[in-house]
Amino acid sequence: MDEPIIRLDHISKKLSVKNGGEEIVTKILVDISFDIAQGEFTAITGPSGSGKTTLLYLMGGLDRPDTGRAFLDGQEISAMEEEELAEMRNAKLGFVYQFHFLLPEFSAVENVMMPMLARGRASTGEARRRAAELLSELGLSDRLHNKPNQLSGGQQQRVAIARALANSPKVLLADEPTGNLDSKNAETIYKLFSDLNTRTGQTIVVVTHDEHFASETKRILHILDGQVSSDRQLR
């Protein structure tokens, strides 16, 4: 059996806050273990405050567990130094957030070029060609030179998805990617993710409150009180 692309091994995370002379400790995640195989399309669901986003950040090396180990593509990211971890994230992970975080002074194609130009991964010409191809695949061939304020919310999020795919990541991680969109634009994003997974085998992990979006994936991990309360394969 192939090694999983993501593995969490007895992960726990807590938040400590000082209130006067007293330290208040809140358990966010408690002894979580699961694997995600290459090519899976997985939703992480659960109520607000259940630890979904913290879990996603641990999977992507944006946060570190207090106990336990996190692996990406066979490497233990929870033990990496920050520089090595940053290189790993840039090379093997793509991130999509609820808010697109596009740079307002740059065009759509320039925003998508940014990850490829980081650390000299591609020449300017190569990055521009790849960015234009990705945007065209996402239905934005006529918006390459528009700045973010000239795009609709759904178009901005598609640019953000193209940017996340720029370096051909092993895993695409998305945190509430439709949370800031109306139902029509949200439906477009559902279809984009599903098509991407079906067509290319892209591994996708998405945190969502949207039950319809979750139902479009292949697996749902439900988080409750910092633990995996259910793990369902849909197809």
Domain map (residue ranges) of the chain: 6-233
The pTM of the full predicted model, rounded to 2 decimals, is 0.90
pLDDT number for residue 172: 95
Q: Chain centroid to CA 10: how far? A: 21
Please tell me the distance from the alpha carbon of residue 28 to that of residue 12, in angstroms, as a whole number. 8
What is the total residue count of the chain?
A: 235
Residues of the chain with pLDDT under 50: none
Contact by Cβ (8 Å): 138, 162: yes
At residue 109, the pLDDT reads 97
CA proximity to 177, closest of 168, 163, 169, 166:
163
Average pLDDT, the chain: 91
Superfamily, domain 6-233 = P-loop containing nucleotide triphosphate hydrolases (3.40.50.300)
Q: What is the pLDDT of residue 25?
A: 82
Alpha-carbon distances of 205 from 64, 197, 220, rounded to whole Å? 18, 11, 10
pLDDT of residue 118: 81
CB atoms closer than 10 angstroms to residue 197: 20
For residue 77, give the DSSP letter: G
Q: Are 23 and 7 in contact (CB under 8 A)?
A: no
- Nearest Cα to 204, choosing from 90, 85, 65, 44? 44
Q: What local confidence, expressed as pLDDT, does residue 119 receive?
A: 67
Give me 42's structure tokens.
Answer: 């997985």
